[in-house]
Amino acid sequence: MLGAAVFTSCLAAISLAQFAPAPLYSACSPAVPCMGGLACQASVCVPVAAAPALLPAPAPVYAAPAPVYAAPAPVYAPPAPVYAAPAPVAPVIAAQPPACAPSCIGGGACLGGACQCAAPVVYSPVVGCAPAPVPIAPLPIVAGRLIPQALPGAPCEPGVECTGGSVCSLGVCVCPPELVQEGTVCVARTVYGVVPPPVIPVPIAPAPVAMVPVGAPCAPMAAAPMPPPACVPGAVCGPAGVCACGAAYTPVQGACVRRRHAKQAEKDE
């Protein structure tokens, strides 16, 4: 046993003597160790990093609290004085007598807001002061007849009798043209000095006169004792006593037609 240990030691010494420690960044292996302070990593001698120094943790820093100030007392401004506005002074207007609208005419006077005349004359808004109208006596009603009646201005219909001198026209009882309505009766216009409207004559259409066709005999105006039948439009009674068309017309079926219209009719045919 002792001999074997001596042999191993001798072999290790020989190995150390044959392989020197490898320098920095040199190849290394289990048989070739690195120099002191170096470590064999990935078969290369690299320096061993020193352990980082442990620094003491800094002391915590606390912010100083903000100073607390007492809130200032509120300052109140004194209220502005309140002055009451003076009440407006209403203008003093003297009382005016009521006026008449429209104004009085024909000698009428405005009294208490109404047009009046001296008695026994009454006021009318049409002519002014005029004598009181004489009412027309209504027609006597035969006993036993129940006929409905209507006053002037009221609606009427067949079978209704209009009173006060009015007549039924277009469904309303109205006064005739020579009368004027005064209340519930119709009075003469001459009472108020109103001239009745003039009577407009109704024109009477002359009786139709037969016209003489072209080529038919006619009588000249100067030779006839009374106006003879006239020729058709566009024709005149010639010296031969026959209706003939004028220069601008042409005869067509007993009538006279302008030449351009006749040509157009021929084209259409």
Please list the pLDDT of the chain residue by residue as tens digits (269 residues).
Answer: 556 655 555 555 555 545 678 888 888 888 888 887 788 888 888 887 766 666 777 777 777 777 777 777 777 777 777 776 677 776 666 556 667 877 888 788 888 888 888 888 888 888 888 877 666 666 665 555 578 899 999 999 888 899 999 999 888 999 998 888 888 899 887 755 555 556 667 677 666 667 888 888 887 655 555 566 788 888 888 888 889 888 888 888 888 888 776 566 566 65
Q: What are phi and psi of 215, to 5 degrees?
A: 90, -10
pLDDT of residue 17: 47
Structure tokens at 196: 């009745």
pTM: 0.23
Our CA angle for 173, 179, 183, nearest 5°, is: 60
pLDDT of residue 205: 64
pLDDT of residue 11: 53
pLDDT of residue 100: 82
pLDDT of residue 54: 67
What is the separation of C-alpha 69 from the centre of its chain, rounded to a whole number of angstroms?
68
